[in-house]
Amino acid sequence: MSKYQPLSDRLSRHAADEWRASFAEVEDVLGFPLPKSARTGNGWWANDSDRPHVRAWTGPGWEVGAVDHSTGSVTFRRGGVVSQARAKVAGAAMAGAGLAKTETARLKAGAGKAASKARAGAGKALNTARIEADKALTTARSEADKAVTTVREGAARVGPKPFIAAGAAVVAAGAAMAVRALFKRSQASKAQAARPQAAPAVTAPKPAPKAATAKTTTRKTPAKKSAARKTTARKAPAKKG
């Protein structure tokens, strides 16, 4: 808040359209002394300025009509052209600000309502989905129970006869397979017996070991040589005589 707001409040409460006040009275309203330029010149009291102290009287629709430095007084008049224009602008701005706040509040409220509706709709949709899922699960369980009951009732009605017949069929099939296997084996034996048998191979006698012959020859050869030597030695002297 501006420090010149007390002057604006004093002018807004003034009933007449003109207020002649001394500088001292203005200072009492403000609560602090006026600057030196306000006591010596007219520029500080100009209405065409946008300074904070000027807005203190133009804001509520007033303007400075006259300044008397000899007596130290100032006259404020309501409804001046500049003040009226400023008041209209300020009023329009305030009205626009109010409308903006109102519209913002309305939009926020609408957004809140929309969010609440969306949440409520999502909650309802979720509950509906859960209910439908529970119904589907219950139906599936019921159908499964019915199917199991039907199967059990059918098995009770038929009894064990189908199972006995199935077992007999399995045994018969096994016996037939065994007979086929025996028949194939007998056919293979007959075919092998019908084939001509080959003559048994004659085994040649094994030759005598060579090691013994070698030993005999080795022993007899030295004896012959020694005998020849002896005969030659005996006959040699007879020829010389």
Split at pLDDT 50, 70, 90, the class of 206 is: low
Split at pLDDT 50, 70, 90, the class of 232 is: very low
Split at pLDDT 50, 70, 90, the class of 18 is: very high
pLDDT tens per residue across span 51-67: 999 999 999 999 999 99
Most confident segment among 83-87, 101-105, 151-155, 207-211:
101-105
Going from the C-alpha of 178 to that of each of 172, 174, 175, the distances in angstroms are 10, 6, 5
What's the confidence (pLDDT) of residue 191? 75
What's the confidence (pLDDT) of residue 215? 47
What's the confidence (pLDDT) of residue 162? 62
Residue, of 166 and 69, whose pLDDT is higher: 69
**Torsion-angle region of 189 (φ positive above 0: left; ψ -120 to 50: alpha; else: beta):** alpha
Q: Assess whether pLDDT exceeds 70 at residue 94.
A: no
Going from the C-alpha of 22 to that of each of 4, 5, 173, the distances in angstroms are 16, 18, 135
Residue, of 220 and 66, whose pLDDT is higher: 66
Q: Assess whether pLDDT exceeds 70 at residue 197.
A: no
- Residues of the chain with pLDDT > 90, as a percent, come to 30
Residue 45 DSSP one-character state: G
Split at pLDDT 50, 70, 90, the class of 103 is: confident
CA-closest candidate to residue 45, choices 60, 59, 61, 56: 56
Q: Assess whether pLDDT exceeds 60 at residue 178.
A: yes
What's the confidence (pLDDT) of residue 36? 94
**How far out from the chain centre does Cα 39 lie?**
76
According to DSSP, the residues that pair with 77 across neighbouring strands are 18, 63
What's the confidence (pLDDT) of residue 125? 82
What's the confidence (pLDDT) of residue 153? 77
Split at pLDDT 50, 70, 90, the class of 216 is: very low
Least confident range from 76-90, 139-153, 166-180: namely 76-90
Global pTM? 0.37
According to DSSP, the residues that pair with 62 across neighbouring strands are 78
Phi, psi at 54, each rounded to 5°: -75, -40
Angle between helices 5-13 and 23-30 (to 10 degrees): 110
